[in-house]
Amino acid sequence: MQHDNLEQFIQAHREDFDQEIPGLNVWANIDQTLSQQKTHTAKRIHLWKSLRIAAAVLVLMVVGGFIGSYITQIQLGKTPENLAQISPEYAEMEQYYQQQIQDKYTQLVNYEQADVVKPDLDQLDTIMEELRAELVEAPQGSEEQIIENLIQSYQTKIDILSRVLERIQITNPKTLKTEDDEKVSI
């Protein structure tokens, strides 16, 4: 019943309520409060937008990391380190040829002629890397041909180094490079 009394009071004094106008200070305080709320809300919205952008970037980085990790794991299963699994004999032969190449190249460096064959050896290395990549992706049964091509490449490198060493020893057998880059006769 109290509600009815309040309603009757409002109805009875309706005109008095409509005639009263708040002072300018009241409107100024309301306006200032609204402005503060707007700037606070604007800052909050800007913060949320920044956080959403940062979260999106973080999600993209995490997803990219997982995809990169997945691709790396797939490729690690097919790396040249696993070529021994394809052919253990190839792994042994590869070690043998690499040792032979290293020995001959070391001899060639002693004669100051390493720069002469370096481009050819680099070209062969590029071809051998391509062959290794083919070997990883080759269907079963075709690996032997690729392995034979790799072995031929190793043999070619050894032949190039051997020929250059023979010619140097025939044309100028006594000139060697020392640690001080001085030519010494033996």
Over 50: is that where the pLDDT of 178 sits?
no
Task: Summarize the confidence of residues 158-175 as an average pLDDT.
Answer: 78
Question: How many C-beta atoms lie closer than 10 Å to residue 56's C-beta?
Answer: 10
Helix (H) or strand (E) holding 177: strand 175-177
Closest CA to 141 of 88, 86, 74, 94: 86
Task: Summarize the confidence of residues 84-99 as an average pLDDT.
Answer: 77
Distance between CA atoms of residues 163 and 93, nearest Å: 21
Closest CA to 124 of 93, 95, 160: 160
Confidence (pLDDT) at 86? 67
Closest CA to 114 of 152, 151, 160: 160
Which tokens belong to 136?
């990883």
Distance between CA atoms of residues 146 and 136, nearest Å: 10
Over 60: is that where the pLDDT of 176 sits?
no
Over 6-71, what HEC string results? Answer: HHHHHHHCHHHHHHCCCCHHHHHHHHHHHHHHHHHHHHHHHHHHHHHHHHHHHHHHHHHHHHHHHH
Q: Quick: pLDDT tens for 20-53.
A: 677 778 778 888 887 777 777 777 888 888 888 9
**Residue 138 neighbours by CB under 8 Å, 6+ apart:** 146
Q: Quick: pLDDT tens for 108-125.
A: 777 766 676 778 778 888
Over 70: is that where the pLDDT of 75 sits?
no
Predicted TM-score (pTM) of this structure: 0.47
Share of residues in the chain with pLDDT > 90 (%) = 1
Report the length, in residues, of the chain: 186
